[in-house]
């Protein structure tokens, strides 16, 4: 049953990508993110009311920061979907794990002690480079010069 839920979720995400591509002909990325957010708020409101759960939090600034970063990321992704072929934009979306590894490596470099080798995790560093190279190889055949901004924003 769990596999069925995963399949259904993948179907809905793919459908969302197609709908964003179609909607981008008439709306800009900010409007699409706003409408998507409003639908989510409505569903969340009904769910919270049905369950009788409070949305009160002890860390409101962390939630505000996460909302800001999430909104910027979603707007960037929706812009990439509108500016690039759908398959290319979806490929860029899968770069998130490569970016997380990059930030972890960057943090390790910043926190290292003096006199130690710059990077002890050579295989991890090479894996991240291979991820970037793989995405670059996938994008090269389909990224036209007029799609450069969409590709950069998607990254």
The predicted model scores a pTM of 0.76
Greater confidence (1 vs 34) lies with 34
Nearest to 69 by CA among 99, 47, 46, 106: 99
Residue 116 has pLDDT above 70, yes or no: no
Give the tens place of pLDDT for each residue, 70-90.
999 999 999 999 998 888 888
Go through 38-63 and write b for each residue having 16 or more CB atoms within 10 A of its CB, e for each that does not. eeeeeeeeeeeeeeeeeeeeeeeeee
């Amino acid at each position: 049953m769990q596999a069925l839920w995963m399949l259904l979720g993948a179907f809905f995400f793919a459908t969302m990508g197609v709908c964003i591509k179609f909607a981008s002909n008439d709306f800009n990325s900010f409007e699409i993110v706003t409408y998507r957010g409003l639908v989510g708020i409505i569903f969340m409101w009904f769910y919270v009311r049905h369950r009788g759960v409070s949305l009160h939090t002890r860390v409101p600034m962390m939630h505000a920061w996460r909302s800001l970063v999430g909104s910027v990321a979603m707007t960037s992704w929706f812009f990439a979907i509108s500016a690039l072929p759908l398959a290319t934009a979806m490929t860029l979306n899968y770069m998130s794990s490569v970016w997380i590894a990059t930030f972890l490596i960057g943090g390790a470099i910043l926190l290292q002690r003096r006199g130690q080798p710059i990077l002890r995790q050579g295989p991890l560093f090479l894996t991240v480079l291979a991820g970037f190279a793989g995405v670059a190889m996938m994008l090269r055949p389909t990224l036209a010069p007029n799609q450069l901004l969409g590709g950069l924003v998607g990254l």
